[in-house]
Amino acid sequence: MTAPPPPPSTGRELSSPPTDGISNLRFSNHSDHLLVSSWDKSVRLYDASANALRGEFMHGGPVLDCCFHDDSSGFSACADHTVRRLVFNYNREDVLGRHDAPVRCVEYSYGTGQVITGSWDKTLKCWDPRGASGQERSLVGTYSQPERVYSLSLVGNRLVVATAGRHVNVYDLRNMSQPEQRRESSLKYQTRCVRCYPNGTGYALSSVEGRVAMEFFDLSEAGQSKKYAFKCHRKSEAGRDIVYPVNAIAFHPIYGTFATGGCDGYVNVWDGNNKKRLYQYTKYPTSIAALSFSRDGRLLAVASSYTYEEGDKDHEPDAIFVRSVNEVEVKPKPKALPNPAT
């Protein structure tokens, strides 16, 4: 370990972190490998358990998102409008295709074998990564969105697209011709992040105004009665509430509880069913840009990286912390009273 020993509460800091803001990080579904995209135009692959950098790809522009394909390859969404496929073993990258504007987010659907990218060109594109290099063969479809795409999340065949202007479109991947549901964010302010529940019944959506909405796909009255929103990542100071953007949501793969990370540098763990906060980790040096639980939920990767919420200014160095997750921090604590939200 080359990094200076961090306080035990924040977890182990990965050595050789990106040199600029971290846009996203994700654990592999097969190992403890961690894929990290960054504004320093790089995509890095770490072995989180060994604390070792396993690979690095340099792109033509800041990388705004990345995701795994399988354990040996992944995809990146780059501000140079390009969607790339990265093969880690051979350090090879193929261009899957291009958008008309920076690509904001990328997801890979194991169910359909497609890559889905969302861009600020107000479109969603699906790609077939098996298609040989060349847009005409890999592009499956382009679906226009009401606004610039800010966040994507997948569960099963459901795709939730959050865009600017607080639009939320819910798609069925098997029929992308039009959204299954067109919604408006329940929150009044700009959407920062959307993540589907692991059980596939709904999604959590966070805004720049320290608030998270818990939504459900079920449109029946009973289904919709369960939805709610809550405030978080705020601070009362001198009689005023300071509100921080909620940049990241990550669901625990086993318990279905979730962690939120905000510009206040805190990571909170919540039990959505019981409407309880389970845990608050000690403050990280700067904003939490991204969060990811490992496949078994034993590790939580925390990107502590200034997200430019206050423009260009001096800030703490960008760092990735990998902390082991104690069961009590993420295990739901059923409350005594019967719960309408379950």
Partner 1 sequence: METTCGSLLSELQKIWDEVGEVDKERDKMLFELEQECLDAYRRKVDQANRCRAQLRQAVADAEAQLADICSALGERPSHIKKSSGSLKKELQEIMPRLEDMKRKRNERKGQFAEVLKQINSISTELAGSTKENLNTILIDENDLSMKRLDDLRSQLLMLQEEKGERLKQVLDQLNVLKALCLVLGMDFKLTVCGVHPSLDDSCCAKSISVDTIESLSATIFRLKDVKLQRMRRLQDLAMTMVELWNLMDAPVEEQQMFQNVTCTIAAAESEITEPNCLSLEFINNAETEVIRLQEMKMSKIKEVFLKKRLVLEEICREAHMVVEGQFGTDFSLESIESGAISTSFLLEQLENQISKVKEEAFSRKEILEKVQKWLAAREEECWLEEYNRVGHNDDNRYNAGRGTHLLLKRAEKARVIVNKIPAMVEALKSKAKAWEKERKVEFLYDGVGLVSMVDQYFELKHLKEQERQRQRDRKKLQGQLLAEQEAIYGSKPSPSKSGNKNLRPSTGGVGNKRFSLGGAMLQNTLADKAALSSRSLLKNNPVKRQSSHNHSNKAFMPHSSGKKNTSAGPVKHHSSNASNSQHAELLPLRKALSPLSSLSSNIISCNFQDQNTKSGDFQDTHVVCKTPATTPTKNVSTHDENRTPKTMPIPVPATPPTVSAAMQTTTTPFTPAIRVAGGVEYSFEEKRAGFVLPRSHSKTLQLV
Q: How far is the CB of 235 from partner 1 (least distance, A)?
A: 5
Stretch that binds partner 1, among 85-93, 109-117, 134-142, 260-268 (CB under 8 A): 260-268
**Is residue 46 at the binding interface for partner 1, with CB under 8 A as the rule?**
no
Q: How far is the CB of 136 from partner 1 (least distance, A)?
A: 25
Q: Which one of 70, 188, 219, 296 is in contact with partner 1 (CB under 8 A)?
A: 188
Q: Which residues in 127-166 contact partner 1 (CB under 8 A)?
A: 146-148, 150, 164-166
Q: What is the CA angle 185-249-31, rounded to 5?
A: 140
Indicate the length of the chain as a whole number: 342
Coarse DSSP helix, strand, coil percentages of the chain, rounded to the nearest 5 percent: 5, 50, 45
Q: Which two tokens stand for residue 268?
A: 């909170």
Q: Which one of 36, 152, 161, 213 is in contact with partner 1 (CB under 8 A)?
A: 213
**For partner 1, the closer CB: 73 or 169:** 169
CA distances from 282 to 7, 13, 265, 303 (A): 10, 14, 9, 14
Q: Which one of 59, 98, 211, 323 is in contact with partner 1 (CB under 8 A)?
A: 211
SS3 75: strand
* DSSP code for 164: G
Q: Are 51 and 41 in contact (CB under 8 A)?
A: no
Stretch that binds partner 1, among 48-56, 82-90, 177-185, 323-331 (CB under 8 A): 177-185
**Is residue 192 at the binding interface for partner 1, with CB under 8 A as the rule?**
yes
Regarding beta strands 63-70 and 52-58, do their DSSP bridges make them parallel or antiparallel, or are they unpaired? unpaired
CA distances from 325 to 71, 252, 297, 302 (A): 22, 10, 7, 12
Q: Which one of 64, 96, 116, 170 is in contact with partner 1 (CB under 8 A)?
A: 64
**Is residue 255 at the binding interface for partner 1, with CB under 8 A as the rule?**
no
Distance (Å, whole) CA 135 – CA 122? 18
Distance (Å, whole) CA 125 – CA 152? 12
**For partner 1, the closer CB: 21 or 97:** 21
Q: How far is the CB of 39 from partner 1 (least distance, A)?
A: 7
Distance (Å, whole) CA 285 – CA 306? 9
Q: How far is the CB of 220 from partner 1 (least distance, A)?
A: 13
Q: Which two tokens stand for residue 300?
A: 């939580």
Q: Which residues in 66-85 contact partner 1 (CB under 8 A)?
A: 79
Q: Footprint of partner 1 on this chain (CB under 8 A)? A: 21, 23, 39, 62, 64, 79, 101-102, 104, 120, 122, 146-148, 150, 164-166, 183-190, 192, 208-209, 211, 213, 224-225, 227-237, 239-245, 263-264, 266, 270, 275-278, 307-311, 313, 335, 337, 339-341
